[in-house]
Amino acid sequence: MKRHFRPLGCSLSGIGFCLISIQGLAASESVIISEKVIGHTPSVIGINTGEMPRESAFPEWVRALGVNGVRLRLGVKPGESKGPSIASEVELMLLIKKLRDNAEAETPKLWKHPESTAGESLDALRHDEIELLATITCPFSFKLLGPEGQTDWSAAWKFWSAYYAQAYQLARRHDVCRFQLFNEPDHAASMKLTQAEYSVRLRIGSDAIQAALEDVSKVTGKKLDPLISAPCTASIKAFESRGKPDTRDSQIGWGRLSMRDRHIRLDGKTDPAYSQFQQYAYQQYSVRPANFLTQLTELRNQVTEANGGRPFPIIMSEYNVHTAKDFSKLPTTLDSPKEFSALGSMATVIAGSGLDEVYFFRLTLSVNPENNQVKKNGIHQVNESGPIPEITGTTRAAEVIRLAASALTGSRELLATKATDEIRSAATLKNGVLQVLLARTNSVAQSAVQLKLPPLKGGHLLTYQSVTEETFGTTAILQAEADGGRVIVPLPSESVGLLSARPVASTLPQVIGTIGSCSTSEGKLLTGGKERSLTLLTFPPIDGSKKESLFLRLKSRSRNSNSVPIHLYLTEKTFLPGERQAVLLPISRKPLPPEVQSGLNVEGLGRGLDLIGGFTVNPDESDTLVEVTRSLNRTGAKKQYSLILSRDFRQQGEKIEDQPLEWLSAEIIVYR
C-alpha cells in the first residue's frame, strides 16, 4: 500500500468563517442572562456504566463525554463464602475487630476486581479525576433475618465482612468514598426484599463501609469521608407509603423508613451523631420539566421535615427521558430529535434543581439478557459480539450530555435567565467562564436566537456548539455585538446548543500548522470511503501547562450529500518529513469481518491512542472547527502529538459513504 505525505498549509485568513451563517441571522426569540446568582449546579454530573470490562476502552468514551462521575454496578455474594458459626453480637464484634486489625493482608483475599469491572479501568477513570459511585448489591436469596425476625449472626458476619472487604479495596486502590447498598428496593423486581430485611442490611452494610473508609484513611493519610446514599428508590414518590402489594410499603414509605432509622448503629442503639447514609438517593425518568420540579420540591420538603427541618443532600442516581421498558414501546431512539432535545431540555432543569449529584442512564446500548432486546436508553453504540465489548460511536443524546456536562459539573454558580417561551436555558459561571445551555423541543421555521450576556470583564472568546439531527461536535467562534454583549446563535427545531465565553489575554489567535501528515490512501489525504482511509496529522510540540484554548481547524472537500461523522484520536506517535512512510506510518486499519456489525478502524484505543471525540463534516461547508482543548492540555506538559481522523462503523447497519473526505489543510488555533 502506498502512503502519501504532504505538508498541510495554514492560514489565518478567514478565521471568522464560522460567523457568516450565524451573525447574518435576524432573531425573533431571545434569552437574557443576568448577573444574579440564584443557586448552584450539581457537584457531579455522571453516567451509569454498569460495567468497566477488562481491556475495554470504556474509560476513553467516559472521559470524552466530559462527565466527572461514574456509577458502577457491583455485587457481593456472602452466601458463597465459608465462615464461622456464631450466635451473638459479641462474637460478631470480635470477628470485626480481628478483620479490621489485619485489613491490609486479609481484604485482598476476600475481594478481587471482577472481569466486568477491571482495576485498570477504574484507575483510568480516577486518573482523570472522575468520581466513582459503587452500587454494591447482595442477592435477595441471602437472608440476615430468621423466620421469626431474629438476626442470624453468622449471616451478619458474612455480610459485614463482604461489604467491608470490597469497600476497603475500592477505597484503598481507587479512593472510592461513594457507595450504595441497593438499587430500587421498591421496584417490583425486588419483591423478595422486605422492609425489615432492607433495614438490617442498610444498618450492617453501612457500618462495614464506614469502618473500611475510616481504616483506609488511617493507612493512607487521605481523608475519605463516607458518602453513602439511600434508599435509591425507583420512584420519586416512594418517600411515603403507596400501599401497593408490589411496593411492599403498606405501613411506611421506603424514604421515611430510611430517614427514621438512619441514626441506628450496628449495635441497635440510636446515636444522633451517627448516620447510616449521608445523601438521599432516588431515580427518575421524565420528559416533563414542570412535573419533575414539582415532585422534587415535594420530596425535598419530606426529606427536610424528616431531618428535623434541616436540609439534607439529595442525589438522582439514574436519569433519562424513558426507562428501557417504556422506550421499547416507542418508535424513537436517543438519536431522534424529539428525544435528545427533550434530554437537553431536562438538563437545563437539572441545572437549577438543587440536586447534589446526577447520573445519566446509561453508557451503552447493551442487550437486555432478560428479553434479548437492546436497551434503547443507552447513549453509546456498542458491539458485544466479541470477547471484549467495543463502543463504536455516540448517539446524539451522548453529545447532548457532553454539552450539559461542560456547563454543569462542579457546583457552578447558576445565573438567572429569562427566555422566550419555547426555549429552555441555564447559565452558569465558574472561574470567569460563562456558559449558556440552550434547548428547543419544538419545530420552527426560523432558528436564530439572540442572547443578551451580562457584562464580561476583559477579553473573552465566544464559542458555540450545537447538536442537531444532522450535526454535532463542531465549534463556531463568535463576536458579540458592540451594543453590550448581544450575540445571535442558531437553535433550529428540536436541538441543543452551548454558548461559552471564556476569558483570554488576546482575541487574536496563534496559528500552528502541521509539520507532517500521511494517509493510508494513495495520492491524497483521505478519510473514509470504500477503502476506510485514515489520515494522521503531526503538529509541533504544544505546551499543555499553559492551559490555552485549542481548536483544530480543517479545510475539506466532500462529494457526499449528507454530513459525515468522523472520530478524532490523539497519539504521541509522529510522522515527520523524510521518514520512510511505509515503515513508520503509526496507524493501521484494523481488520474487520465482511459482515461487520459495527467497529472502529483503529487499534490500541486506551493503549497509546486517546479518543478526543466525534464531529460531523457538513458537505455545504468546507471549513470545520473542533475544540481539542481538554485533550491537548490533559498532560499539563509540553509534548508533540499527532491527530488521527477516522470514519468508523459507528453502529450496526450503518452505510458508509462511497466517497471519502479529502483534507486540504489543517491547523491548530490557539487562544491564550
The reply to whether 4-13+508-671 and 44-408 are identical in fold is: no
Q: Which fold has domain 44-408?
A: TIM Barrel (3.20.20)
- Confidence at residue 413, expressed as pLDDT on a 0 to 100 scale: 98
- Confidence at residue 203, expressed as pLDDT on a 0 to 100 scale: 98
CA-nearest of 505, 500, 509, 510 to 480 is 500
User: Is CATH 2.40.50 the classification given to domain 4-13+508-671?
Assistant: no
Distances (CA, A) of 537 to 442, 534, 556, 639: 40, 10, 14, 15
- Confidence at residue 8, expressed as pLDDT on a 0 to 100 scale: 41
DSSP state of 423: E
Dist CA 366 CA 552 (whole Å): 33
- Confidence at residue 588, expressed as pLDDT on a 0 to 100 scale: 62
- Confidence at residue 93, expressed as pLDDT on a 0 to 100 scale: 98
Look up residue 101 and give its three cell numbers: 486489625
Look up residue 654 and give its three cell numbers: 450503518
Sheet containing strand 460-467, strands side by side: 475-478, 460-467, 495-503, 433-440, 423-430, 413-419, 29-40, 448-452, 486-490
- Confidence at residue 372, expressed as pLDDT on a 0 to 100 scale: 80
Verify cis geometry, omega within 30 degrees of 0, for the bond prior to 362.
yes
Residue with cell 411496593: 247
Burial-class residue 98 by CB neighbours within 10 Å (0-12, 13-18, 19+).
exposed
Q: What is the mean pLDDT of each run of 10 residues along the chain (672 residues)?
A: 35 39 70 97 96 93 98 93 92 98 97 94 97 97 95 97 98 98 95 96 98 98 98 97 90 97 97 98 94 96 98 98 94 97 98 98 88 90 91 97 98 97 96 97 94 90 97 92 79 98 92 92 88 93 90 95 95 70 52 72 92 94 94 89 94 88 96 92
- Confidence at residue 579, expressed as pLDDT on a 0 to 100 scale: 56
- Confidence at residue 577, expressed as pLDDT on a 0 to 100 scale: 63
Burial-class residue 221 by CB neighbours within 10 Å (0-12, 13-18, 19+).
exposed
117 C-beta neighbours (distance < 10 Å), count = 21
- Confidence at residue 576, expressed as pLDDT on a 0 to 100 scale: 67
Burial-class residue 302 by CB neighbours within 10 Å (0-12, 13-18, 19+).
middle
Do 615 and 538 contact (CB within 8 A), yes or no? no
Q: Where are the alpha helices (DSSP H) in 307-353?
A: 324-327, 337-351
Do 253 and 280 contact (CB within 8 A), yes or no? no
Q: What amino acid occupies position 49?
A: T
Dist CA 669 CA 672 (whole Å): 10
Angle at which helices 153-174 and 89-101 cross, to 10°: 20
Q: What amino acid occupies position 284?
A: Q
pTM over 0.75: yes
- DSSP letters, 560-577, are -SS-EEEEEEEES----T
The ranges assigned to domains in the chain are 4-13+508-671, 44-408
Dist CA 387 CA 417 (whole Å): 49
